């Protein structure tokens, strides 16, 4: 019998067709693909230039060299609830599409300006069709997608982290992406890819770049304004032909047109320049350099007692702090609110407040130690913000529940201040521990250090308690329950308990200073967990905080 | 140690031993710290999933052990060689970090960690509490109670009651007051939500809200409505009825007997925490004979996971007995006519064929055919022209065939005298029809008059352009099956269907198989409860009952019968038990109980009555200026007292309406269906008609919140006194004393 079945099987050598596509019964047909329509077609063919030819790399790179975007990048565009400059918008879009703000040519290793690449992506899509461009963040999804490529190329593309837009036009790729919707964990990956794809497909005509008249606050899209649309068409054509001088000329005309359309409602040049500066300095996080220099010099100064070193160290600390201040202030001005509404903002605010307190204490208590700790903290936090992509670092509107409360401002500010002090206390305690273990338990500096850590930690304890209780007051008001044992609440309490123990354990131990310093280190990590880990790893009501 | 405590300790020596120990323990700071650490441990256990906790502990150990060794060495060496010590510390840090990598990899291979990755302690089957219940469980109450006792006792015995210490005394008093407030709060708390429809859409005054956590079951019988609270119901874990791990008899409750009498027995036979009801074909021995088979299409029959698709083929329903693919098709035939089988297995060359029979001339012959071909049927006088071959374009509307598809041959038949057309169907020969020209009848179109096929000539059309398989059950009651396969260009083959699978398509090394999964001799459509796999559950909806399912087993003894009447119904959870909020299977179920009549059952939440009623006058969204991004939502409400007096108020996001100690907060609203273009429709008054139709209000009380607030204020005020004012006062006192001493010296 099995042999007969086998014979039957062998009879079934059917013509090679896309069998698997048909293997699914019709009732099980995949839903229409969420990835729609291929990328926009290139501009209409010109007589002297046949359509659909790929721009050679040499002319592409030459265009990138010659095109002048200095004025264009500072134009305003309205998106996600605020008017931002093109430079910011281009960075955001590339972040979405490519996962980084600077596109890199994998063969020449050349990196391109974000605004250039963004314009190029919209006006010259075909250039990117075969190049690694669409960011696929999650490795598992990337791995399934590269299986559609020839085997010898798979490993290479897997490493790029970005896949070619052409690949996504394959129905199989769409099926793979759609199928990820079924798995909750992979669904995140799918949403990311769909967002990247949508941003990749964007048309320049849909950009709201014409400022509103006095009677309205509605920005007009380029495509809805005939002269602007006309210029855009010309730009597209010159761009497509790699004609840099004509491109520059059209960009200038566009700049003039847009800034003079409704000058009254157009964001001021000063503000736009500030935003550009904000972007090019990595949101002023480069202040870490000054902080780092200050920390090293102050550390030496503390041990050598040389006045010149002290002065230089303090000067660098103040420079670092000034940069930090400007970054914080510009963000506030650009977003039009006190910038503490997401993780990036609260992180910057936290380190700013800690540095501020450190500097104030340095002057009032006349101890260099506070300044040293402030510099260490400023350097560590700004370096972190500079190198690691902290979630929700885009400027934008905030969820309704956060926007309609005044208590929130006080609650969050107080909590952030207490976290900042905990961080400052941590650095002081580290210096204490270093002194204790390296110079022995009887060092003269230890008493001062202990007093310093207690000053900071006591204030942190009070602020954390007050902030948490204010949060409870707010929760009672907004959620109808003052204490819900939500993970964030629980961990705020646990953090507070650690410092409650710090304060009381001093009565019950023979070496209160040392135990305080050790618990301060523990408390700092608990605080980090409360501030970051809880948001990342535990689900709860505070997921936007 | 304070002077006061030294005095008291002296006095303690007179106490008997166990009492002395007890009072010492409760005066000690060590005990307070231990209790606080217990709170930390409890909170950690209650907030961090067990897998993560285990992983964290292992990683921490992997990091800390080398670090501890390194630090020890550093300390030992550091006393004489500071920099050597420092470098050891650095090496230890590095080693600790490196150690975490293999541990992390190892952890990911252990199933336990994967299984408990998202499982918090209180969700274990033996515990099954909500987060809040877990925190108010007796161990936590015990820890907190001991801590407060410890604090009070220590305060009395250690701290001097003087002006200087007013700070710490205030803080400790604040903590006690806050505790008293929370006890009151916890005891009296009610919390839930209610749904209100806009008045202009027919919304009425409502005075009922539903508890946030407690589930309930509702029975409606003869205008009587019975609610039974189900606090015993599990939350996170599945208890399928066949496992028998959870049953809950409802008929033992007095309220049940009052409404539904002593005869009916109702038992909750299980609980599915996260699942859905699916309508499926199942075999019921009591049901009439209705043979069906469940088949799976699979790319690898030895691997369960390779199954691409499952389908039930029902012999009695023409449209449901077939799987049609572009390259192959399968049909399940039950007791087909012998003649039909003979026709189907007729051999011929080519992709299409006709079996032609002219009964009165005893003519029967098989012809391979192609489009536009004309066949002369020997000397019978008949000839047939094949006009067209291909799919039957329209969807079939004949009852029983609805939704089916087929291929057909369009033929022109001439018998010498007249010509007519015949539409010969391949799979459903019963749908074969004739079209006879009727030029005199103006109401008949050019196709001709449609009528049943002429019995003079019988034509069976056979389509073998794709592989055709028939699974045949020759006898309605016997279980034997045969398999008939007609492959393009091959002789038909019929074998007993002994194995439960066969290949339907082979392509290189890949093959597609059809696998018989199950026989359903008495198939009937039934609701089936399917547990949602863990990976597909929405984490924030676990434990909320939103996807909860319960089976209710109803049983009643019938007079004169030995076996009782029994029925099981599955109930899907409804957020609000009213029939107007029914959606899909989340609806009340009506059961006709013999001798009792109609009983309607629904599974929802505990109902609580407000002392007043609410009407929703208006619901609106306030956007950010210049955009459509919502900034605020509000409900405009009329509050009606039992005596008929009314007042109005608005509940905004973050700004609730408080009335008679009840807080009414804006928590939800009707978003409509954003994908529906009609979603933006507005009526004459400019109000939305397909969205913002209802508002959901959170309802809750806040007994004792003022006490809690007072306690909090004391804590907040007391701390700075203890930290800043007290040292300042001591400093001043010191200065004064020093000045006095100096004065005395000089004097």
Chain B residues closer than 8 Å to A498 by CB: 40
**Exposure letters A303-332 (e unless 16+ CB within 10 A, then b):** eeeeeebbebbbebbebbbebbebbbebbb
Local confidence band at A26 (pLDDT 50, 70, 90 cut-offs): very low
Q: How does DSSP classify residue A207?
A: -
Residue A494 has pLDDT above 90, yes or no: yes
Residue B406 in any domain: the answer is yes
Tens of pLDDT, residues A190-229: 888 888 888 888 888 888 888 888 877 788 888 888 888 8
Q: How does DSSP classify residue B610?
A: E
Tell me the average pLDDT across A98-110. Answer: 86
Q: What is the pLDDT of residue A544?
A: 39
Residue of B87, B123, B194, B506 to mutate, interface with A, max A Cβ within 10 Å: B506
Local confidence band at A435 (pLDDT 50, 70, 90 cut-offs): confident
- Nearest CA to B5 out of B32, B27, B30 is that of B27
Chain B residues closer than 8 Å to A26 by CB: 324
Task: For chain A, say whether B48 makes contact (Cβ under 8 Å).
Answer: yes
Domain boundary (B606, B631, B654) is at: B606
The answer to whether B32 contacts A481, with C-beta atoms less than 8 Å apart, is: no
Query: What does each C-alpha distance from A345 to A281, A353, A463, A526 come to in angstroms?
Result: 16, 12, 19, 20
| Total-model pTM | 0.71
Query: What does each C-alpha distance from B595 to B218, B219, B565 come to in angstroms?
Result: 20, 17, 11
Reported for B477-484, long-range contacts at CB under 8 A and 24+ positions apart, including other chains, are: B477/B289, B479/B519, B479/B521, B484/B341, B484/B344, B484/B345
Chain A residues closer than 8 Å to B631 by CB: 400, 403-404
Residue A6 has pLDDT above 70, yes or no: no
Tell me the average pLDDT across A470-499. Answer: 89
Tens of pLDDT, residues A339-386: 777 777 777 888 888 889 889 988 988 888 888 888 888 888 888 777
Beta sheet of B307-314, edge-to-edge order: B307-314, B292-298, B510-520, B501-507
The residues in B 620-639 lying below 8 A from A, measured between CB atoms, are 624-627, 629-633
Q: What is the pLDDT of residue A25?
A: 33
The residues in A 100-159 lying below 8 A from B, measured between CB atoms, are none
Residues of chain B scoring pLDDT < 70 = 1, 75, 78-86, 301-308, 507-509, 625-629, 674, 747
The residues that bridge with B433 in the sheet, in sequence order, are B423
Q: What is the pLDDT of residue A51?
A: 45
Identify the three-state secondary structure at position B363: strand
* B441 and B391 housed in the same domain: yes
Residues A232, A238: Cα–Cα separation, whole Å: 10
3-state helix/strand/coil string of B49-94: CHHHHHHHHHHHHHHHHHHHHHHHHHHHHHCCCHHHHHHHHHHHHH
Q: Greater confidence, A79 or B190?
A: B190
Query: What does each C-alpha distance from B192 to A22, A535, B14, B211, B695 come to in angstroms?
Result: 51, 26, 56, 4, 14
CA of B14 vs chain A CAs: smallest distance (Å): 24
List the single residue in A with minimal CA-CA distance to B625.
A217
The answer to whether B712 contacts A473, with C-beta atoms less than 8 Å apart, is: yes
* B695 and B716 housed in the same domain: no
* B332 and B475 housed in the same domain: yes
Residues A98, A110: Cα–Cα separation, whole Å: 15
Q: What is the mean pLDDT of chain B?
A: 88
* B503 and B573 housed in the same domain: no
Chain A residues closer than 8 Å to B507 by CB: 13-14, 16, 19
Residues B310, B298: Cα–Cα separation, whole Å: 9
Domain boundary (B503, B521, B539) is at: B521
The answer to whether B700 contacts A482, with C-beta atoms less than 8 Å apart, is: no
Q: How does DSSP classify residue B331?
A: E
List the domain boundaries for chain A.
Answer: 281-335+347-390, 401-545
Residues B160, B164: Cα–Cα separation, whole Å: 9
Q: Greater confidence, B698 or A173?
A: B698
Residue span of the structural domain in which B80 resides: 3-138+154-159
The answer to whether B39 contacts A497, with C-beta atoms less than 8 Å apart, is: yes
* B11 and B134 housed in the same domain: yes
List the single residue in B with minimal CA-CA distance to A212.
B626
The residues in A 515-544 lying below 8 A from B, measured between CB atoms, are 534, 537-539
Residue B346 in any domain: the answer is no
* B471 and B332 housed in the same domain: yes
Q: For residue B602, how many other CB atoms are within 10 A of its CB?
A: 24
Residue A20 has pLDDT above 50, yes or no: no
Q: What are phi and psi of B312, to 5 degrees?
A: -100, 130
ipTM for the predicted complex comes to: 0.76
The residues in B 285-324 lying below 8 A from A, measured between CB atoms, are 297, 299, 308-309, 311, 323-324
Task: For chain B, say whether A214 makes contact (Cβ under 8 Å).
Answer: no
Residue of A1, A10, A11, A337 to mutate, interface with B, max B Cβ within 10 Å: A11
DSSP assignment of A39-86 equals: SPPPPPPBTTB-TTPPPPHHHHHHHHHH---TTGGGSEEEETTEEEEH
Task: For chain A, say whether B80 makes contact (Cβ under 8 Å).
Answer: no
Residue of B719, B722, B731 to mutate, interface with A, max A Cβ within 10 Å: B719
Task: For chain A, say whether B395 makes contact (Cβ under 8 Å).
Answer: no
Q: What are phi and psi of B616, to 5 degrees?
A: -90, 105
The answer to whether B506 contacts A5, with C-beta atoms less than 8 Å apart, is: no
* Count of structural domains, chain B: 6
* B114 and B260 housed in the same domain: no
The beta-carbon neighbor of B625 closest among A217, A439, A473 is A217
The residues that bridge with B216 in the sheet, in sequence order, are B229, B604
The beta-carbon neighbor of A490 closest among B43, B189, B505 is B43
- Nearest CA to B183 out of B579, B705, B566, B546 is that of B705
Q: What is the pLDDT of residue A280?
A: 80
CA of A391 vs chain B CAs: smallest distance (Å): 21
Task: For chain A, say whether B465 makes contact (Cβ under 8 Å).
Answer: no
* B16 and B116 housed in the same domain: yes
The residues in B 331-350 lying below 8 A from A, measured between CB atoms, are none
The answer to whether B47 contacts A182, with C-beta atoms less than 8 Å apart, is: no
Residue of B92, B300, B507 to mutate, interface with A, max A Cβ within 10 Å: B507
Structure tokens that stand for A83 in this block: 């008017």
Residue of A19, A182, A529 to mutate, interface with B, max B Cβ within 10 Å: A19
Residues B88, B613: Cα–Cα separation, whole Å: 73
């Amino acid at each position: 019998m099995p042999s007969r079945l086998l014979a039957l099987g062998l009879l079934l050598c059917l013509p090679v067709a896309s069998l698997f596509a048909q293997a699914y019964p019709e009732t099980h047909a995949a839903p229409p693909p969420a990835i729609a329509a291929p990328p926009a077609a290139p501009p209409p063919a010109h007589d002297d230039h046949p359509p659909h030819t790929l721009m050679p790399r040499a002319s592409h790179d030459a265009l990138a060299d010659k095109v002048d975007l200095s004025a264009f990048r500072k134009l305003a565009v309205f998106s996600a609830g605020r008017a931002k400059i093109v430079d910011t918008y281009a960075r955001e879009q590339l972040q979405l599409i490519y996962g980084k703000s600077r596109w890199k040519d994998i063969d020449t290793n050349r990196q391109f300006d974000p605004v250039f690449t963004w314009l190029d992506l919209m006006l010259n899509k075909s250039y990117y069709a075969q190049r690694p461009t669409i960011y696929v963040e999650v490795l598992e999804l990337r791995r399934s997608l590269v299986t559609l490529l020839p085997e010898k190329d798979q490993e290479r593309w897997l490493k790029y982290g970005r896949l070619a837009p052409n690949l996504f036009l394959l129905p199989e790729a769409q099926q793979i992406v759609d199928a990820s919707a079924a798995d909750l964990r992979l669904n995140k990956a799918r949403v990311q890819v769909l967002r990247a794809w949508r941003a990749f497909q964007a048309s320049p005509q849909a950009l709201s770049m014409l400022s509103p008249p006095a009677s309205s606050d509605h920005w007009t899209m380029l495509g809805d304004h005939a002269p602007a649309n006309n210029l855009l068409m010309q730009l597209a054509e010159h761009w497509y032909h790699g004609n840099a001088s004509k491109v520059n000329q059209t960009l200038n005309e566009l700049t003039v047109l847009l800034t003079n359309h409704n000058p009254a409602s157009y964001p001021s040049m000063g503000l736009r320049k500030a935003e550009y500066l904000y972007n090019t300095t990595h949101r002023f996080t480069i202040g870490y350099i000054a902080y780092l220099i200050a920390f090293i010099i102050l550390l030496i100064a503390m041990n050598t007692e040389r006045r010149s070193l002290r002065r230089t160290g303090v000067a660098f600390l103040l420079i670092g702090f000034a940069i930090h201040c400007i970054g914080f202030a510009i963000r506030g001005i650009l977003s039009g609110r006190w910038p503490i509404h997401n993780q990036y903002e609260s992180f910057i605010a936290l380190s700013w407040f800690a540095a501020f307190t450190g500097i104030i204490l340095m002057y009032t208590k006349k101890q260099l130690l506070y300044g040293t700790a402030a510099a260490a903290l400023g350097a560590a936090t700004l370096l972190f913000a500079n190198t690691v992509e902290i979630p929700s670092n885009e400027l934008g509107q905030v969820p309704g529940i956060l926007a309609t409360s005044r208590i929130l401002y006080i609650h969050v500010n107080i909590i952030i201040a207490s976290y900042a002090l905990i961080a400052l206390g941590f650095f002081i305690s580290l210096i204490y521990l270093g002194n204790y273990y390296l110079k022995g338990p009887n060092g003269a500096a230890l008493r001062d250090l202990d007093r310093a850590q207690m000053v900071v930690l006591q204030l942190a304890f009070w602020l954390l308690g007050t902030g948490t209780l204010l949060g409870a007051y707010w929760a009672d008001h907004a959620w109808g329950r003052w204490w819900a044992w939500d993970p964030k609440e629980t961990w705020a309490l646990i953090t507070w308990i650690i410092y409650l123990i710090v304060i009381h354990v001093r009565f019950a131990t023979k070496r209160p200073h040392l135990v305080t310093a050790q618990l301060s280190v523990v408390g700092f990590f608990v605080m980090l967990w409360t501030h970051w880990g809880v948001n990342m790893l535990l689900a709860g009501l505070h997921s936007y905080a | 140690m304070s002077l006061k405590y030294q005095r008291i300790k002296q006095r303690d020596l007179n106490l008997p031993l166990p009492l002395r120990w007890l009072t010492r323990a409760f005066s000690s700071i060590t005990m307070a710290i231990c209790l606080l650490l217990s709170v930390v441990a409890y909170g950690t256990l209650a907030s961090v999933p067990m897998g993560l906790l285990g992983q964290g502990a292992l990683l921490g150990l992997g990091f800390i052990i080398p670090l501890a060794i390194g630090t020890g060495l550093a300390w030992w060496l550091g006393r004489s060689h500071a920099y050597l010590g420092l470098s050891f510390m650095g090496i230890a840090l590095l080693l600790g970090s490196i150690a975490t990598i293999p541990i992390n990899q190892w952890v990911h291979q252990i199933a336990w960690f994967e299984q408990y990755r998202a499982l918090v302690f209180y969700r274990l089957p033996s515990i099954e509490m909500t987060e809040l219940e877990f925190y108010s469980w007796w161990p936590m109450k015990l820890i907190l109670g001991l801590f407060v006792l410890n604090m009070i006792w220590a305060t009395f015995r250690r701290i001097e009651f003087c002006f200087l210490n007013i700070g710490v005394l205030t803080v400790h008093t604040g903590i006690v007051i806050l505790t008293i407030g929370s006890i009151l709060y916890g005891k009296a708390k009610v919390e839930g939500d209610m749904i209100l429809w806009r008045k202009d859409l027919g919304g009425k005054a409502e005075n009922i809200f539903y508890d946030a956590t407690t589930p309930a079951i509702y029975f409606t019988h003869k205008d009587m409505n019975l609610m039974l609270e189900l606090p015993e119901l599990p939350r996170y874990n599945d208890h399928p009825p066949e496992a028998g791990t959870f049953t809950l008899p409802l008929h033992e409750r007095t309220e049940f007997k009052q409404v539904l009498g002593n005869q009916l027995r109702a038992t909750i036979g299980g609980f599915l925490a996260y699942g859905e009801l699916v309508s499926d074909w199942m075999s019921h021995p009591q049901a009439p004979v209705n043979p069906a088979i469940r088949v799976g299409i699979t790319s690898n029959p030895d691997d369960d996971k390779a199954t691409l698709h499952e389908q039930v083929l029902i012999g009695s329903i023409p449209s449901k007995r077939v799987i049609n693919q572009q390259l192959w098709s399968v049909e399940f035939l039950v007791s087909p006519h012998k003649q039909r089988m003979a026709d189907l297995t007729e051999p011929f060359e080519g992709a299409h064929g006709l079996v032609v029979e002219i009964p009165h001339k005893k003519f029967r012959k098989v012809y391979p055919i192609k489009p536009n071909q004309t066949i002369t049927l020997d000397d019978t006088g008949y000839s047939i022209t094949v006009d067209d071959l291909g799919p039957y374009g329209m969807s079939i509307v004949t009852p029983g065939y609805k939704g089916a598809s087929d291929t057909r041959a369009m033929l022109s038949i001439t018998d010498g005298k007249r010509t007519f057309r015949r539409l010969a169907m391949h799979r459903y020969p019963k749908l074969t029809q004739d079209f006879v020209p009727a030029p005199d009848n103006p109401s008949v179109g050019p196709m001709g008059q449609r009528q049943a096929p002429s019995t003079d000539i019988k034509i069976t059309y056979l389509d073998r352009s794709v592989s055709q398989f028939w699974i045949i059950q020759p006898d309605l009651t016997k279980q034997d099956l045969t398999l008939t396969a007609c492959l393009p260009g091959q002789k038909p083959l019929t074998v007993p269907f002994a194995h439960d699978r066969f290949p339907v398509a082979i392509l290189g090394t890949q093959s597609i198989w059809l696998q018989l999964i199950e026989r359903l001799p008495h198939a009937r459509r039934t609701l089936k409860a399917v547990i949602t796999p863990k990976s597909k559950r929405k984490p924030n909806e676990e434990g909320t009952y939103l996807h909860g399912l319960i089976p209710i087993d109803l049983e009643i003894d019938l007079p004169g019968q030995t076996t009782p009447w029994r029925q099981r119904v599955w109930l899907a959870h409804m957020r609000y038990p009213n029939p107007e909020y029914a959606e899909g299977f989340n609806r009340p179920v009506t059961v006709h109980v013999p001798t009792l009549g109609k009983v309607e059952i629904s599974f929802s939440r505990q109902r609580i009555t407000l002392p007043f009623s609410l009407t929703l006058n208006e619901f609106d969204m306030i956007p950010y200026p210049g955009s459509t991004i919502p900034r605020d939502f509000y409900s405009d409400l009329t509050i009606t007292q039992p005596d008929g007096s009314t007042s109005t108020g608005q509940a905004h996001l973050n700004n609730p309406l408080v009335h008679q100690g009840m807080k009414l907060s804006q928590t939800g609203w009707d978003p409509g269906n954003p994908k529906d273009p009609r979603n933006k429709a507005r009526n004459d008054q400019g109000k939305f008609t397909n969205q913002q139709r209802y508002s959901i209000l959170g309802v809750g009380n806040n007994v004792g919140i003022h006490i809690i607030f007072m306690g909090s204020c004391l804590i907040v005020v007391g701390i700075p006194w203890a930290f800043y004012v007290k040292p300042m006062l001591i400093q001043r006192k010191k200065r004064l004393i020093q000045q006095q001493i100096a004065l005395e010296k000089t004097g």
